[in-house]
Structure 1
């Protein structure tokens, strides 16, 4: 079983290569590092950072040096994080992993990018009222798809083994903006409807699939207005199949096509470069419908999948991983992320039992979240669990 720890490029910069990689190999005992290449805004607490405890990560920043020639003339382009200065953490990581016999993976956030969303609102998803959700990029938008292809090509320069593709799909209303506020209770249905993209590209894609896209948009807008006006209506469950006489449900089904086709294209492109790509479905089987995640379609397209095995008990990890097979994704095409921290694990035996479950099910890769956000004792817990 391959193993890796997810980390930020700032961990490498701030601690230095010897300390950073030494802890990964000597304490965690893993065979690779999954380094963030493009990441969203965040404010995190770093328990073992050498000089600080709280760090802010820049919105939609890249942690490699983009090749200017590759992005010439494009509106959507990665911007190197100010935190890396004139360094290239990915070049440094590539050299160190090669020297130490480790795998380098690129943890890449594709469509959750508020820097680019705010700069180019026409590339962001639009709800049924035309409001742009500026913390995101729409995977049906041609410029977004070109940007995603460019990221894959860039990462190939560094000898990356695998791209861990996060946010290669739509997101809901509540996702990733500072001080999101809802003073009236919207209800789950209104929130879900406000997260569906009706931008011109999504409307056209649904129309080409035979869906009455405008009818679906009007139905979504009318139902949201009804729920916003009445507290009792807001609490009522959604009946998507009934809205627009089925047009809205058909529209949501069609929204998976751009996601699947983009994932398949990037997976093929990565393979041409000698890399692998795995699509992160964090919530798991049956929960990504509104995000455009169609697991059987991804499996048919040959796209590998990664998921979060965040749970207290090994039985819960087993249940989630086993459920993927019911959606066409074999365990051999899965990677699973575990958290060794106290929130999920009460000790090395608990983590070792989860790893044993993954091995038993035939999962070939396990990753651990997140180097900078865990105590050093959690790195020791990984090492003990892997040895066990």
Structure 2
């Protein structure tokens, strides 16, 4: 199977050995970040630094001012962590080493946007804003994300793209000094805490026949026992999935939220893919980081497998820790001959990955329908982890 390693431009720029080191792993492709959220990243082999702090979400290339003319929202430029055309410089070095380069574009995940423009953020049933989570139902946000997808995906030297966070973001979020784990939230409670009640979403609920005020009150009532510690989890006989949401919120209200959010997400996904295809031209590959449960939120956006495989060229699926058996069959059932089902495995031991089991995991993924591999992350992994990966990949 074709394999691709994720990288940041700062893993390559300033390190003359980086591109050849990645090529020597045995991968054929690199998935290189062109638009990324804030992060603090380790660079264990770079000759000039060990820690890179990307202070805010940004594009990692110079923006085209004409492309953004008339847009209410626009991307932020990177700081010292990715000056100039960091993406272009890294892509050129990787291509020279014989690697195919695809862009890696993070969309609906932007804490700086939420801090500077609070009106763009998801608002929960208690009125709390999630500054890391742009509300994709808001017209200005959707227009921004589609324009960002088109520009950040189709960078010079890129043969395709992978769109991350192309859908709803919710409560779950890696956050500095996080203190929200005091009450365990099961999947249904996480869903209720991820519902948005901004005025646009409120109008959407109203169009479906439900008062947004009444819906928010119902969410708060449903969650009251949760805050007292009564989440049942996955015990025998306890409903899961949509049934669990319906048990908390009631079938009618649950259906309204699922319908509204599903339609908004599908519209964004269709628009983003269409914009990228228009900018990229024939043969430009478009994949989405995805989850087969449509109401899931986050980097791997929830999608309807049958729908998304009719829109994009394929999906990238998180398969670490046994997740392959949940992720892959749901998409394999709807895949056409050319559909890409990329199984994404964390290969950084310090981040919960298991590079030593990559060969076995890849074989299982292939038996479940995977057509390609993704390795997260070529820049973050230790030298020992990379050596283990290299020995597992076929030559």
Return the TM-score normalized by structure 2: 0.83
Give the match for residue 74 of structure 1: 71
Greater fraction helix:
1
The alpha-carbon distance between structure 1 residues 346 and 90, as it changes in their structure 2 partners (threshold 3 A), is closer
Give the match for residue 303 of structure 2: 294
Q: 1:319 aligns with which of 314, 322, 325?
A: 325
Give the match for residue 252 of structure 1: 257
Give the unaligned 5+ runs of structure 1: none
SS of the residue corresponding to residue 177 of structure 2 reads: coil
Give the match for residue 246 of structure 2: 241
Does structure 1 conserve the Cα–Cα contact (< 8 Å) formed by 2:340 and 2:372?
A: no
- Cα distance in 1 for partners of 2:361, 2:341 equals 15
Q: 2:158 aligns with which of 139, 152, 160?
A: 160
Question: How many Å apart are 1:360 and its aligned residue?
Answer: 4.1
SS of the residue corresponding to residue 222 of structure 1 reads: helix
The alpha-carbon distance between structure 1 residues 293 and 330, as it changes in their structure 2 partners (threshold 3 A), is farther
Does structure 2 conserve the Cα–Cα contact (< 8 Å) formed by 1:215 and 1:244?
A: no
Give the match for residue 21 of structure 1: 19
Give the match for residue 264 of structure 1: 270
Does structure 2 conserve the Cα–Cα contact (< 8 Å) formed by 1:63 and 1:90?
A: yes
- The number of residue pairs the alignment matches comes to 375
The alpha-carbon distance between structure 1 residues 184 and 335, as it changes in their structure 2 partners (threshold 3 A), is closer
Structure 1 vs Structure 2 CA RMSD: 3.0
Query: CA offsets per residue over residues 324-359 of structure 1, 9 Å max, x none?
Result: 247745694311212333443363xx3223333344
Question: How many Å apart are 1:181 and its aligned residue?
Answer: 2.1
Give the match for residue 106 of structure 2: 109
Question: How many Å apart are 1:242 and its aligned residue?
Answer: 4.9
Return the TM-score normalized by structure 1: 0.84
Give the unaligned 5+ runs of structure 2: none
SS of the residue corresponding to residue 173 of structure 1 reads: coil
Does structure 2 conserve the Cα–Cα contact (< 8 Å) formed by 1:34 and 1:106?
A: yes
Q: 1:87 aligns with which of 72, 84, 87?
A: 84
- Cα distance in 2 for partners of 1:223, 1:361 equals 38
The alpha-carbon distance between structure 1 residues 178 and 248, as it changes in their structure 2 partners (threshold 3 A), is farther
SS of the residue corresponding to residue 28 of structure 1 reads: coil
Question: How many Å apart are 1:73 and its aligned residue?
Answer: 4.0
- Cα distance in 2 for partners of 1:318, 1:85 equals 34
SS of the residue corresponding to residue 72 of structure 2 reads: coil
Query: CA offsets per residue over residues 109-144 of structure 1, 9 Å max, x none?
Result: 111110111111111111113321111111111111
The alpha-carbon distance between structure 1 residues 302 and 57, as it changes in their structure 2 partners (threshold 3 A), is same
- Cα distance in 1 for partners of 2:182, 2:368 equals 45
Alignment of 1:53-72 (within 5 A): 53-72=50-69
Does structure 2 conserve the Cα–Cα contact (< 8 Å) formed by 1:216 and 1:251?
A: no
Bigger drift between 231-240 and 291-300 goes to: 231-240
Query: CA offsets per residue over residues 129-164 of structure 1, 9 Å max, x none?
Result: 332111111111111111112222213242422221
